[in-house]
Structure 1
């Protein structure tokens, strides 16, 4: 069976890539990521799970903004070492079919804009998509899959929405996306076996010389309407996802606590290690979880939680700081902020009085238990929060295989694209 070849940009620890590879329909020619713990994690995964013996070379640890070196290679860089560059791997593969990935989302997120005094308008990450476009322009894949937060549809760093700039930039260079992306493009991961309410924008772009432009617009929309929904699964709750992990027991006695250990846990379970919490926070977590367990629900609205924060912590906050995960629902969106604190991801079991562990966050993102993360606890929380859930990526990969197959059949038979219209 012919496998489609792709490049993964802004790869992170490889959630999107992992889902595509799990389908068995793809080979990754090369990946690009600039954060070292993420690079180390992805390389380890590729070697141990998929037998990619040259993963250390094919996963490029580099800054995508340095385009000339990215394409042609670099030597003895103090931060990034040496590499042959993307051209080498694309030429070796005799071309690619697909580019996947998504620039960092912080500049587009609504929360980020609220916190930043200039609404993220001065953030260089608004325009990192231009480097994604440069790679697309250079290697001319049949299609690309571009993932980001829903805020990308409303972000307006200057006098025009960024989504309009992206659409126009790609069209100028021979690629189109749906004209109805606000209608079709927002995908809820919880519908695809991910135990988490996580909405993300998926932009599918297609090279315009592959067919009549009107036909191409129609089949792009059909990807969203018919192909991707075929891979939806039943909703999975938090308890179904993490309830079988070993219980973690808090240490309430000050004499038995240490500066780094506030819980007793099974150290044999990979990354199922709680972060340290002081007694004040542990008591807050216990109280909030008990409130839900007992059905009192006194602290489930923002105003009540804000009051708790002000009373217990002694300072005011413009946003409510705490949230207990509901065991009988999918999780709220797992975010990279977890690396700073876990206050918005409190375990539903009041007896455990804690926030979630990296392994629990990974499960809520649909990473398999054999996915081994490399780095500090903070960097692992960050990479998990920034990742594309592999189960969502798996569904996109399956749907993209059908999508790309149609172009292969058209090329072989000279038929129209009417199978989708």
Structure 2
């Protein structure tokens, strides 16, 4: 793979020394969690590549909604990175030469089927312009590397799940870091970080790789924790499995995440994150119907009896994404009439086995009351029919984590993309409301500000949120990259002497 030479890097640094903001290309952009964090840290979001058309519209609306309609339409186009070239992106958006268009690349390429590429073939395959077509899913990393080679960024960020450290016998992030260092001229480090230590009200473990070109900086480190907590035991086990290959083979590029010290403030809790939003009771009043929930009716903020949390204030006052004056249009929930009584009665912090047991108890109480009121014993067939309408059908041992009722004084668990299917993994801590979290509450728990708009209906919005990198976590990482760029700009520019040919 061709090394990224220093000339274009120095040219880009000269531009930054003039006070112009670093320009970002977001690959696998989704709705824009990384973009939002980088924008908040002083970067400019110039382009994105995203295959999902709804997520692409969301990204365009939030970062380019101020542009003329024809420009906005180009930004809103869905683009498949396996078929679109960097030059096509810059041509569509009027950004000129792709080699000079961007300063920073960010994104989270999925690692499915990566093991089919493997360490030994990585350089050979990555250098072949059509290699990704052999297995587009597994080779999406190769497309990311191709974009690096073409656009020659000053710095880059890669995000992925913990399994990328131990995937099919490969430490994917370690191998990518090695290639960046040895073949492309970048200093790379990666770490397994939980976002709860960085002000996000969510215990979300993800691997982040940061890299800067060797002309920019020779050292790059990850941000220090600003919150402290003891992660539940399940997270420790997951991290141990993920780090197995890092510990086994060692890696100079790996950096242990900072978890802070007990003198730091505790994590942002669920109540601090969403407790200031209006209660939802339409389902208790018989006014919520089955069907796609659209974002048409605004929900006003309740009158506050006391001060809102610092986190809620941040979500309401985020520069450029301030709270809408007429209220939130996506504070809507899923229609789940069977489960209302279960949500109300199950304990906080309880999982599916406790939910199932609660449902069985409610069923037994219902049968007893029916028989007492009717003066007769119900038949087995009648009991079976009632059981099916009151008790969830999932086996207790198969999906122990399928349901979870939030604890008001604790961060929430990881929001996943499939939250759009049922939302049982995040049942509201307030039993009186007896419901799952709303779209806007999911956004708050992922650290999207209240003025950030999601396109589509409820299910696509949940999916976009679950797929995103928490913007506050992205902002912390962006600040680290910005520090490296500022240090580079503070150094005197190096003038390269060009030999004069003899006459």
What is the TM-score normalised by the length of structure 1?
0.75
Which residue of structure 2 lines up, in the alignment, with residue 343 of structure 1?
424
> How far, CA to CA, are the matches of 1:393 and 1:369 in structure 2?
17
Contact preservation (8 Å) 1:46, 1:52: no
Report matched runs for 1:177-256 at 5 Å: 178=188, 181=190, 185-208=191-214, 210=216, 216=218, 219-220=219-220, 222-224=221-223, 235-252=267-284
One of 318, 323, 340 as aligned partner of 1:282: 340
> How far, CA to CA, are the matches of 1:303 and 1:145 in structure 2?
39
> How far, CA to CA, are the matches of 2:135 and 2:279 in structure 1?
42
Relative to 1, partners in 2 of residues 1:35 and 1:259: Cα closer, same or farther, differing over 3 Å?
A: closer
One of 317, 321, 332 as aligned partner of 1:273: 332
Which residue of structure 2 lines up, in the alignment, with residue 151 of structure 1?
163
One of 399, 402, 407 as aligned partner of 1:319: 399
Superposed CA offset, 1:276-298 (max 9, x none): 112x211211111xx33xxxx8x
One of 100, 106, 116 as aligned partner of 2:106: 100
Superposed CA offset, 1:284-334 (max 9, x none): 11111xx33xxxx8xx36654565678822441512121001111111111
What is the TM-score normalised by the length of structure 2?
0.64
> How far, CA to CA, are the matches of 1:389 and 1:107 in structure 2?
25
> How far, CA to CA, are the matches of 1:131 and 1:261 in structure 2?
36
> How far, CA to CA, are the matches of 1:175 and 1:269 in structure 2?
46
Question: Is 1:64 paired with 2:81?
Answer: yes
One of 430, 437, 447 as aligned partner of 1:366: 447
What's the offset of the Cα at 1:412? 2.3
Superposed CA offset, 1:154-211 (max 9, x none): 112xx533234323433453144556x4xxx122222222111112211012324556
Relative to 1, partners in 2 of residues 1:18 and 1:160: Cα closer, same or farther, differing over 3 Å?
A: closer
Contact preservation (8 Å) 2:99, 2:152: no
Greater radius of gyration (CA): 2
> How far, CA to CA, are the matches of 2:82 and 2:413 in structure 1?
33
Any gaps of 5 or more consecutive residues in structure 1? 75-82, 109-121, 415-421
> How far, CA to CA, are the matches of 1:23 and 1:130 in structure 2?
28
Number of positions where the alignment pairs a residue of Structure 1 with one of Structure 2: 363
Which residue of structure 2 lines up, in the alignment, with residue 406 of structure 1?
487
One of 91, 97, 112 as aligned partner of 1:84: 91
Superposed CA offset, 1:22-80 (max 9, x none): 223x22232111111111111111134xx4443433455210001xx423439xxxxxx
Which residue of structure 1 lines up, in the alignment, with residue 37 of structure 2?
19
SS class of match (1:2): coil
SS class of match (2:489): helix
> How far, CA to CA, are the matches of 1:106 and 1:349 in structure 2?
38
Which residue of structure 2 lines up, in the alignment, with residue 34 of structure 1?
51
Any gaps of 5 or more consecutive residues in structure 2? 1-18, 115-133, 227-256, 301-326, 361-386, 496-503
Relative to 1, partners in 2 of residues 1:226 and 1:323: Cα closer, same or farther, differing over 3 Å?
A: closer
